[in-house]
Amino acid sequence: MRHWLMKSEPSEVSIDDLAKLPEQTVPWFGVRNYQARNYMRDEMQPGDPVLFYHSSCPEPGIAGFARVASRPYPDDTQFEAGGKYFDPKSKRENPRWVHVDVQFVKKIRLIPLADLRAHPALADMRILQKGNRLSITPVTPAEWAAIESLL
């Protein structure tokens, strides 16, 4: 089992939105970075725990817990001509982009980015590294425990 941090803009899907969805699952669509895609395609397993992170908002931070709820499957947004996530080079018979479903576990009080940066045990956490823009990153068991200690 691996642990993950997955970023979502609350204007797209927030932790509150996820909690209200049928079966409380959402496809993690629109990932267009090969490394993040490879994490979903090659490493994520159903049941893996997820830190649900709000990004590109006034106060970014960890807003809740989720879990990976499916194996990877093709992201249909890559085929929607004119859509935000359209990829003209991707073909249905050989799709470039996949996603997994994510299921709600629990909403928590927001743990802001500043709090994460202030915690010494999280100094090496990928999301805190300069220049990191990946929407999906692995989280070590020690980092996961440190975040749980902030609750």
CATH code, 3-143: 3.10.590.10
- Mean pLDDT, rounded, of the chain: 95
This prediction has a pTM of 0.94
pLDDT value at residue 94: 94
Domain ranges of the chain: 3-143
Q: Are 73 and 101 within 8 A, CB to CB? A: no
pLDDT at 135: 94
- Backbone angles phi and psi of 59, in degrees to 5: -130, 90
Residue 117's pLDDT band, with cuts at 50, 70 and 90, is very high
Confidence bin at 131 (pLDDT 50/70/90): confident
Question: What stretches of the chain adopt beta strand conformation (E)?
Answer: 3-8, 25-27, 49-54, 61-68, 73-74, 98-99, 101-112, 136-139
